[in-house]
A and B are shown apart, each in its own frame.
Chain A
Amino acid sequence: MHVIASIISRDKVSHDCMIACDCLPHQVSQLASHSWEKTLALLLRYVEAVPPEAVVTQLDAAAAMEQASAASGAQDGAPPSPSGVAEGRLFEYLHALFLYDVHLGAPFHGRQLVLYARHQPTLLLPFLKVR
């Protein structure tokens, strides 16, 4: 975790880029638990090093865990994270990725439609019409 903290606290590109390449593809959720805003910025900054597929896979896993913990209640003693947080993050990530580069998230544009409708319907029509 100290490695992640060092990514967050420093901003020297050359060295941190290597660290980011190592950590980001696997530890999106841990990083996001510190600050989603900064994680999102990192994911976009190092977009070439962090494949959107890896990000989506991890946010999906986080969403599945949220649903499971919501379904089982707080019986396991762990504080339940509010349901829908990971899906909201997926929405924000895919939207930001789309604004950054239309093509990078292409495999997820179908899902993105559903997420727009659920989270920000006013953006759905502009998304449909982009050309």
Chain B
Amino acid sequence: MQVLITARSTPLASKGSPHYPLEVALDVCRRHQLIEGQVFVLGRLGAHAEALRLMLESSQGDLRAALDFVRQRPQEVELWQVGAELVFR
């Protein structure tokens, strides 16, 4: 059978974000232990302290990423406090 079927070669301009419930995303990332995913979703949910805790406490944690995360939110002074407590306890 001579067949040549390909997907449309020039996709439509595909811009925009996926529409997923953040709670579902968080749940999926938790169940599959995807720390980076959890951190991202927690950030979107505004749960910055929890995201920071995850970055510093988990075995996949990343101090440099945690520092960047806090630096990107200079208005949230309490994040430094949370981070310092986790690192120096």
Contacts and interface: CB of A to CB of B under 8 A. Distances in A.
Contact of A112 (B16, B17, B18): B18
User: How many residues of B sit at the interface, in one of the four size bands?
Assistant: 20 to 34
B34 A100 contact: no
Interface in A80-131: 96, 98-103, 106, 109-110, 112-114, 117, 121, 124-125, 127-131
Contact of A96 (B7, B20, B41): B7
Interface string B1-43: 1111111100110111111110011001101101011001100
B57 to A, nearest CB: 19
Contact of A8 (B3, B12, B18, B41): B3
Given A45-B5, A114-B28, A121-B34, A109 B14 contact: no
11 contacts: A9-B1, A100-B7, A100-B11, A101-B12, A110-B21, A114-B24, A114-B28, A117-B31, A124-B28, A128-B18, A128-B20
